[in-house]
Structure 1
């Protein structure tokens, strides 16, 4: 079930269009993304690195830089501990490269997803002590690791935490929340209550990058040397699905602008293995082609394989590793498809029983793909979903949520069922004893305040715009809205009634449907739908008119350019 909504945000679109030399349609789209006022519009359209906040505004950065500077000058060994996802690998690389280039004695360890689980732990601390490490520097983890950090301090380690995840909290008898920060020497996380950094929505790599900017300033080094890291930061920002607004948007734009000129041999190899060097690289390629290969390393082998790719200086070795990562990701895709089929069977069952939060148990599933499967189930049924699987100790898994349901907050309400958990409003991870599974499913559903209407998929339409209005120039102008991602979605237009004059089906799986369409004004345009032919034919029946949402593109074939619409949602209507 879908509910279509039309944005009705008001502004003088003609005036904005004239002032910024953009089509009024573009002005309306910018307003729909809550970009209001000349300053915000200017930054949205033309934001650059000079608009990024002073890193010293972030709580803990000044103190962290002082410690780091001293450690580097004294030749102390610093070990970076990151998460094993894209954001973790990239944060680790940013810190390693920046500190190494200024002469720091630096190494790294990435927890093994299966053996160690998420984040820093006592085993990692013990290994650091054994290796005579002086300082542990975390990235993209550590904010919820109070016990491990305390253990590190007990063993004489200097502990610097950099993270971007939500800060854990306790609730007192009066219902007041109190932050629980790890007892580190320094905690750098823009989501701390006492942090006044203007843009707290950075990913882990964004926090690491800002920390290194401050470090370079303190070392009296030219921070423009760090710009080579922006392409990597763009990958992490897109893949961690943080809001593509403000500073995140600038980082991604600047990273994409530089990515084909990267000096990083490993990144170049990864782009080449997917034939991306000859194409225009946008956020889609980062999120759905490059990022998953980095992730596959941490899911099926060790994330250190991906990090070592970015540290590789031999082109042949880099090419070989990039190909291996691509193969790993292809294997991951197959495993995911099989897992989704099994999970859907359970999901339909629990949904029919009235469960609002779908807690699915797939004992044979590789734990590394639980989050991807949960995301697919969430997308298909529009319910919050957890996918749990057998682990070394008990069961563990990941959850993905829908708007209006903060997964982390809801898990806090039933935290007694977990041995370990953490995350964001939209995604989370957890571990629990197998015998607690039914209790978890029962309690998370009993606490859930979502109603039936919350499960209807909401389709937010930017503009009810007949295809007659589409021009090549308008499509070119739409590119100023890129990069697209969370909170800066690709625009969605709608046309109420188009005549279907012809249907052609392509693709080896017969899942590319091309419609010859005609508007009531006589405009002819092709429409593309990417779905199974049988499903499409069933919906169409004998109807000849379609109402649809779409995004306009320029189709180029044998040097000939034509207008086309890619159809996202649709239903058929009578003539």
Structure 2
């Protein structure tokens, strides 16, 4: 069951239309995204590179720059330590290429997901020391590596941390004199409980989420933080500013794949990164897009998040993330093609394994009596641990609940969490920290480790103490505008492109049409997984529509509400009495040289007979 809600933000739409030369539809959509005020609207409609903030506003950025300049001049050995997901691989790529450009003696290390786990560890530090590495530079990790960084400092190494994850903290009270500490934030004002955030004892810690960091945009991914560092590094070495922009296509991929909000600087990164990617000279990305049949003219954030990203991620899940990095670093088309083929095969295998894991997880939820739990904790002992996050995401979409998928590992149990807006999974895990051997992440996603005997205790604890209500668990469909079919035309489609890229924080607009009649229907697709409709609205305007959802479920709903005879009429091209309200997004169907409007149905609600 879904709850449909119509957004109803008030604004002077006529004024927005006149000042920014847009239609009322665009004016309403801008308002629905809470962009108010002349500057914010202008920046949203025209995300320019000039809108990027000064990287020197980031805490410790000058320290990091000065250290790297010194190490480069002294020809000291630098090792980049990344991570095995897309953000970690792309961050490593950016820093490695940039440091080489500046003449550094540099190499890289990416932890193995199974053997090493997340982020920099003692073994990586010891190996670097044994190999004569002078400086460790982390990206997309390191902010929680307190003991590991301390070890590197004991060995006399220089450590620079660049990261974007939440900082570890200790709870403290006002009696500790915490109010004067810039690293302290309010946890509970009424109880006078505060949090003292901790940074590792590195020589420089660059992370916009530091409470003592004045950088105005906190939502950067790891690759974007790395990009900010190379901006100041290039400037220090007199390299043209435009050269840094060559990395925007990489930052765009990371931003989308790490599910950052596409607002502020992230919107600039992805908008311009996509433009650049359409004409990229990167052999690896060209080969990857070709092998996945991505047409450059239609390239969008969708392709980054659901095709390019998963292929890069597949190497870190089922093999080594270094293959994904090798693809990006490829200097000839032959090697790039071979690696692209390998990554696509790995991703296809990952899809098969994921489908099996999702099926097993659903079976466990339905059979083991977990369906009433508000927080789903599912232990798939035999599942490949690299797939836990994807499976958690699929279950979250199915049940609209926070999901933790756990798998067996050499050191006990490891897992990944995916949450819903109403539930800060990082905060809730913090309350159960005594049950965990390790955890970290964001409000919407996290990773954790624990002993097997604590699995059921964790499930019970999270559900017993949950703040979630039944209302929180009802999927909400937020409708931007009730827009009858008669308003749809190619000019509107062109205007909607201004609002792209779409993704988290800048979702694709949701339009609605009420009480449309289904004139006819057909099932398409080699797996019979698409429904095609001919619809007519109450004003007599007809429209072709496609639905990519649960086809069999839709047919069952028709039978339940209207009877088998009405369902048969739909597929026999006979007039029916079936009416429904839909949410949709418009598109253009090009076939045989003709261009016609069509809509893609996202949700439907059958009208009562």
> TM-score, normalising length from structure 1?
0.98
Separation in 2, partners of 1:554, 1:267: 28
Q: Is the 8 A contact 1:351 1:358 kept in 2?
A: no
Deviations 1:30-63 (A, max 9, x none): 1111111111111111121111001000001011
Question: RMSD of the alignment, in Å?
Answer: 1.2
Going from structure 1 to structure 2, the CA distance change for 1:350 and 1:23 (only over 3 Å counts) comes to farther
Match of 2:606 in 1: 572
Could you say what secondary structure the match of 2:114 adopts? coil
Query: In the TM superposition, what is the alpha-carbon distance from 1:353 to its structure 2 partner?
Result: 6.1
* Among 305, 314, 323, the residue aligned to 2:323: 305
Residue correspondences, number: 575
Query: In the TM superposition, what is the alpha-carbon distance from 1:531 to its structure 2 partner?
Result: 2.8
Separation in 2, partners of 1:151, 1:35: 46
Gaps of at least 5 residues in structure 2 are 174-191, 563-576
Could you say what secondary structure the match of 1:567 adopts? strand
Separation in 2, partners of 1:221, 1:209: 14
Gaps of at least 5 residues in structure 1 are none
Deviations 1:413-449 (A, max 9, x none): 1101111110000000001111111111111222211
Separation in 1, partners of 2:511, 2:342: 40
Could you say what secondary structure the match of 1:31 adopts? helix
Deviations 1:351-406 (A, max 9, x none): 65632111000011000010000000011001100000010110101000001111
Could you say what secondary structure the match of 1:144 adopts? coil
Separation in 1, partners of 2:460, 2:551: 40
Q: Is the 8 A contact 2:278 2:297 kept in 1?
A: no
216-225 or 394-403, larger mean C-alpha shift? 216-225
Match of 1:553 in 2: 587
Query: In the TM superposition, what is the alpha-carbon distance from 1:349 to its structure 2 partner?
Result: 4.5
Separation in 1, partners of 2:369, 2:521: 35
Task: State yes or no: 1:128 paired with 2:133.
Answer: no
Match of 1:102 in 2: 102
* Among 170, 188, 197, the residue aligned to 1:179: 197
Q: Is the 8 A contact 1:13 1:25 kept in 2?
A: no
Separation in 1, partners of 2:138, 2:399: 36
Separation in 2, partners of 1:277, 1:465: 30
Q: Is the 8 A contact 1:238 1:287 kept in 2?
A: yes
Query: In the TM superposition, what is the alpha-carbon distance from 1:574 to its structure 2 partner?
Result: 3.6
Separation in 1, partners of 2:409, 2:508: 38
Deviations 1:173-231 (A, max 9, x none): 55211001111111000000000101111100010001110111122221211111111
Task: State yes or no: 1:539 paired with 2:557.
Answer: yes
* Among 315, 329, 349, the residue aligned to 2:333: 315
* Among 475, 487, 493, the residue aligned to 2:511: 493
Task: State yes or no: 1:403 paired with 2:421.
Answer: yes
Separation in 2, partners of 1:267, 1:559: 31
Map of 1:317-332 to 2, 5 A cutoff?
317-332=335-350
Map of 1:385-464 to 2, 5 A cutoff?
385-464=403-482
Q: Is the 8 A contact 1:374 1:399 kept in 2?
A: yes
Separation in 1, partners of 2:197, 2:57: 20
Query: In the TM superposition, what is the alpha-carbon distance from 1:99 to its structure 2 partner?
Result: 0.8
Deviations 1:248-278 (A, max 9, x none): 0000011001112222211111122122244
Separation in 2, partners of 1:135, 1:558: 60
Match of 1:562 in 2: 596
Going from structure 1 to structure 2, the CA distance change for 1:202 and 1:351 (only over 3 Å counts) comes to farther
